[in-house]
Structure 1
Amino acid sequence: MKLAILDRDGTLNLADEAFITTPEAWVAQPGALEAVARLNRAGWHVVVATNQPGLGGGQLDTTELNAVHAKMHRELAAAGARIEAVFYCPHRPEEGCACRKPAPGLLVQIGERYGAEPDETWVIGSCAVHLQAGAQWGAHLHLVCTGAATGLLPGQPLPPDFPSGVAVHASLSDLVDQLVPAEPLPQPLSQGTAH
């Protein structure tokens, strides 16, 4: 089993401080969809785990969230990529649920659904809380320096809110370059010789 659990905002799509409440606001990170396609072709199961407190706070409803994810799935499909499932926590921070990252509840649910152990799972994201959840569950931790991590660089020390043992990559594409063997370039068709 090869399972990658990606954060959504900042990892797959551009993110700002506001909630993404419309499909138009969901804009893919450069190269991210192609990186997911490469994982798919290499046999990885790819899912998303995302905090969506806008649901609990009334900034969006499930119909609007589903419309955002429908756009995400369409754009992934156009790139030859597939996210198998989206797991989300709808709660606000003050609700104290077990599924809101940095709690590991969403990741545990994903592991149970896929029959995956933490040591078979790569938790990949651009924010500390996603990786904190992965650390509590015991997964492999990978930071991509996009979204909230823009400005961090591979090889530099991470801020103290990041757990130990995090591998740092410039982007999701750079991470996939390390996880997935290079795909062979298409060979030109050989020209037959005329007799």
Structure 2
Amino acid sequence: MKLIVLDRDGVINEDSDAFVKSTDEWIPIPGSIEAIARLCKAGWTVAVATNQSGLARGLFDIQTLTDMHFKLQQLAMEQGGRVDLIVHCPHAAADGCDCRKPKPGMFRTIAEHFDLRDLRDVPVVGDSHRDLHAGMMLGCTPYLVRTGKGMRTLEGVLPPGTQVFRDLAAVTDHLLKASS
């Protein structure tokens, strides 16, 4: 199985320091939906792991989150793609859960869902340190995008082996070229 794990806000859709709280605010980054479709057409399985503390903060409810993810799926299907699994952490940072990135709980859920022992060498694409670290704890290969908070993340020290790309479309170009 060729599996890839994507962060959502800042990788697939525009991020906001005020949180993405509605389907109207959920705006795809140009080229991201097409990138997901290209991955699917090339035989990749796409999973999304996303922190959604806006739920714990009361900024939106689970139905709104479901609607945002439905919009993502609809747009991907229109391009001939799909997202095979979406997992989210509904907790605030202070809740001390194991699923909120940079902890690896969502990545363990993804591994279990696909009946994988680990996620060794699985690409994880994120725009923040926490995205990359959570995946690396289970052996993922880190890819940082400059979209979302990516430029800010570049100011810090990146995890060893992190590859940096303009956006998800550029990561997809790289992965598809490498596997051809």
TM-score by length of structure 2 reads 0.92
SS class of match (1:67): helix
The answer to whether the Cα contact below 8 Å between 1:123 and 1:141 also exists between their aligned partners in 2 is yes
**Corresponding residue pairs, total:** 177
Structure 1 unaligned runs (5+)?
A: 183-195
Deviating above 4 A after TM superposition, structure 1's stretches of 4 or more consecutive aligned residues are none
> What residue in structure 1 maps to residue 163 of structure 2?
167
Deviation track 1:72-114 (CA, whole Å, cap 9, x = no partner) reads 1111112222111110000000011000000011001101111
Post-superposition shift, 1:181?
3.5
SS in 2 for 1:134: helix
When structure 1 is superposed on structure 2, of 49-58 and 73-82 the one drifting more is 73-82
For 1:177, the aligned partner's letter is D
Query: Which moves more between the two structures, 46-55 or 65-74?
Result: 65-74
The equivalent residue for 2:99 is 99
**How many Å separate the matches in 2 of 1:95 and 1:179?**
36
CA deviation profile, 1:24-61 (whole Å, cap 9, x unmatched): 10110111111111110111100100001111111111
Q: Is the 8 A contact 2:56 2:91 kept in 1?
A: yes
Identity of counterpart residues, as a percentage? 38
Distance 2:73 2:25 in 1: 14
CA apart distance, 1:16: 1.5
Partners of 2:41 and 2:80 within 8 A in 1: no
Map of 2:69 onto structure 1: 69
Question: What SS does the aligned partner of 1:25 have?
Answer: coil
Compute the displacement of 1:151 (Å). Answer: 6.4
TM-fit CA distance, 1:178: 1.3
Gaps of 5+ in 2: none
Which residue type is aligned with residue 96 of structure 1?
Answer: G
Against the structure 1 CA distance between its residues 104 and 151, is the aligned structure 2 distance closer, same or farther, given a 3 Å change threshold?
closer
Aligned 8 A contact 1:2 1:120 in 2? no
Question: Structure 1 residues 119 and 77 mapped into 2: Cα distance closer, same or farther (>3 Å)?
Answer: same
Whole-Å separation in 1 of the counterparts to 2:127 and 2:30: 14
Q: Report SS of the residue matched to 2:134.
A: helix
Q: Do structure 1's residue 125 and structure 2's residue 122 form an aligned pair?
A: no
Contact 1:3 1:120 in 2 (8 A): no
Matching residue of 2:84: 84
In structure 1, C-alpha distance between the alignment counterparts of 2:164 and 2:152, rounded to whole Å: 12
Counterpart of 1:113? 113
The Cα of 1:120 is off from its aligned counterpart by 4.3
Written as runs of structure 1 = structure 2, the 5 A alignment for 1:13-24 is 13-24=13-24
Q: Determine the structure 2 residue equivalent to 1:11.
A: 11
Task: Indicate the SS of the match to 1:123.
Answer: strand
TM-score by length of 1: 0.85
